[in-house]
Amino acid sequence: MRRHLIFSLLLSSLLAAGPVAVLAQQPPVLAIGGAEELARLNLQILRAPTDPALNLRYAALAESLGLNRLALAAYERILMADPANLAAQLGIDRVRAAIQPSTTQYTVEGGYLWESNPRYTSIPSTHGRNQFVGGLNITDERTVDGTRWRSTVDGVLHEYAGTGVSDLDYGRLGGVTGPVLWVNPALAVNPGLGVAGAYFDHRWFYAEVSANATFTTYPGGAEQALTLRAAYRDYNHTFFPGTQGGYADAIGKLTFPDVFPDTAIGLSPWVRLSEIAGGVGKGVFLPFIATDLQPGDYLDLGGKAQILHSLYDEALVLGASFSVGGRFYQSVEVPGSTERRKDVTLSPGVQLIFPHFLAYQNDLRLGYQYSWNHSNVPINSYRDHVINVTVVARF
Amino acid sequence: MAQRFLFRLALVAMLLSAAPARAQSNIGIASGAKNQVEGVVGGQTQTIAVGTNVFGNELVRTGPDSLAQLLFVDQTSLSVAPQSEVTLDRFVYDPSRGAGTVALRTTVGAFRFVTGAQNPNSYQIETPVATISVRGTILDILVYADRTVVIVQEGQATVTSLRTRLSYELTTPGTALVVWASGRVEGPITWDSTIIKVNGSVPFPLFGNTIWPDQHDLFPGDNRKFLNDLLNADRQSSGCSPGSVLVTFNGRSFCSP
């Protein structure tokens, strides 16, 4: 049943990557007037700025003359008076797409992290561990043959200092590419195909292919997005569980700007269904194992709320977050019972961000996060404190 | 012939729309106004609504959650974000030659400047720390007390630091130049998609997708609970000696040498 769900999601993501019902991307047909006609219409608009028909005529003529900037201003004007004007919504999306520059954005993050309980054990060691973290994101957006195309590369690296927990060293590099299509005036979809690879425990970990579809809308100008992903992994066969597995997830990204002055709220709900079923059943090969070990076979539900408040003309940003998640293992049993393992994790955190630290678009970030995990398998309950100092550069 | 006609039309329109009580010249209108928008001219403050005339030397300011668009006779438009202030210093336009001068002075806030029908070299915008010579066509300008950020969305601009008098070219759409009060200039840099102000369907800058960058988790790595579970399972199940791992082959598992 769950496998069926994963494949349904995979299919829907792939379908989204195909030729969806994109609305016509052409401006309304209109007799070409010329610059003089445009100037004449502008003078009329000066007398009747809220006349939508007049503004639409002006915008359509400007578009047909290749003067997208003038059309943009006209559509903005209409939408300021009438946010529901469909023709203006279509028009502004069309000219925005025509104007939007091609860009390649690099984001690099590096820093230090101290963690009290990196192994997430119920009885943590008496001293914490240090690790170095690094990350990379490259987002390229450009218009190719009239279609907006987005490609991203993401990488992350966690390297523990010293010995003891270095088997937790982890790295991942992946990329996704696909077109950005407007399915209606208010909704864009970015279907994409992705590949990724990871190492873990000083070994090659897995290779992954994925189908992604991100739905984005901008009500009120702020981005609201939903990403659906279905992925299939081929694990290193020397690793337990050395097998293939798939997962599907949905991640929301809701942004509420200016809830209070200079304050934004972000919400990120998620759900993941993982069917990495590789494992060793109890009593099959290793009879001393009390439980069926399939740690990648679970349903995970949760969400993160974050509030950010800017002070002193964006010289300092204060942040607070709270995430809650529940993981429901499908195969892992509570010792001595047939009950399945369930974990609930609560994680509050605070952040101090110094934007434009040393250079513009460089941030210094200080953070603290506490995690409290309760499991019905007591040995898997844990508490963890994390303090991090990182620098993020965007260029 | 057509140009002469247009010139007369523009002249007539300006004369007709000028408010009799105003000594200043009418240069355009508020083509959009949402919530609290005010104009100060000749020491008098007036509420600006859609269709209100704007004048040379008029200070236009917006309140929180407010927005304005000013439209001029040469088709230039200026979108004004919430909590912004701009003074319309000078506006001269000769439609018969398509030339003139447009000079604005911004003191705080965010603006989108879309050039009209004039010669591209006719536009100049002053901020507390820089002067921007617009060479067409869409610019987003973010004005703070200590810095000005100029983002070119289409066309080009020349930005001059008031402190050093050095000028910098901004020629690639999607890039930004940052001028600090100290005279330090950064860029051109690719704008990082941060939206500074939003009102309705009008974002400042024009393109972006986050209120603050990385507001949501940047990196898509595996959840460490899974990694720890996996590692614990690996160790627990193998019963292998340190350095050895459980290997599954043809459906059977054994410890590696």
Q: What's the confidence (pLDDT) of residue A294?
A: 61
Residues 6+ apart with CB under 8 A from B60: B30, B37, B38, B39, B48, B54, B68, B70, B80, B85, B86, B87, B88
Q: What's the confidence (pLDDT) of residue B9?
A: 46
Q: What is the mean pLDDT of chain A?
A: 82
CA distance B17 to chain A (A): 8
CA angle B139, A179, A205 (to 5 degrees): 115
CA distance B182 to chain A (A): 14
Q: What's the confidence (pLDDT) of residue B203?
A: 80
**Do A107 and B213 lie within an 8 Å CB cutoff?**
yes
> Is the CB of A81 inside 8 Å of chain B's CB atoms?
yes
**Interface size, chain A vs chain B, as Cβ–Cβ contacts under 8 Å:** 282
Let me know how many helices (H) and strands (E) chain B has, helices first. 2, 19
**Nearest CB to B230; choose among A109, A264, A295:** A295
Helix (H) or strand (E) holding A36: helix A35-47
CA distance A278 to chain B (A): 10
CA–CA gap between residue B257 and residue B243 (Å, rounded): 9
Q: What's the confidence (pLDDT) of residue A7?
A: 42
Q: Which amino acid is at A305?
A: A
**Nearest CB to B236; choose among A154, A158, A289:** A289
Mean pLDDT in residue range B16-29? 58
B166 alpha carbon, distance to own chain's centre:
22
Q: What 3-state class would DSSP assign to A379?
A: helix
Mean pLDDT in residue range A179-202? 88
Q: What are the chain B neighbours of A48 within 8 Å (beta carbons)?
A: 51
* pLDDT tens string A6-50: 444 444 444 444 433 333 344 444 444 588 888 899 989 989 998
Residue A27: Cβ within 10 Å count: 21
Instruction: Answer yes or no: is pLDDT of A389 > 80.
Output: yes
Q: What are the chain B neighbours of A69 within 8 Å (beta carbons)?
A: 114-115, 137-138, 154
Q: What's the confidence (pLDDT) of residue A283?
A: 41
pTM as predicted: 0.78
Mutate to test the interface with B, among A44, A46, A159 (most CBs of B within 10 A): A46
Where do we find the tokens 């578009």? A63
CA–CA gap between residue A286 and residue B239 (Å, rounded): 9
Residue A216 sits at φ, ψ, to 5 deg, of: -130, 140
**Nearest CB to B114; choose among A35, A70, A261:** A70
> Is the CB of A124 inside 8 Å of chain B's CB atoms?
no
Tokens standing for A140?
């390229």
Q: Which residue has the higher pLDDT, B100 or B246?
A: B100
> Is the CB of A258 inside 8 Å of chain B's CB atoms?
yes
Instruction: Answer yes or no: is pLDDT of A120 > 60.
Output: yes
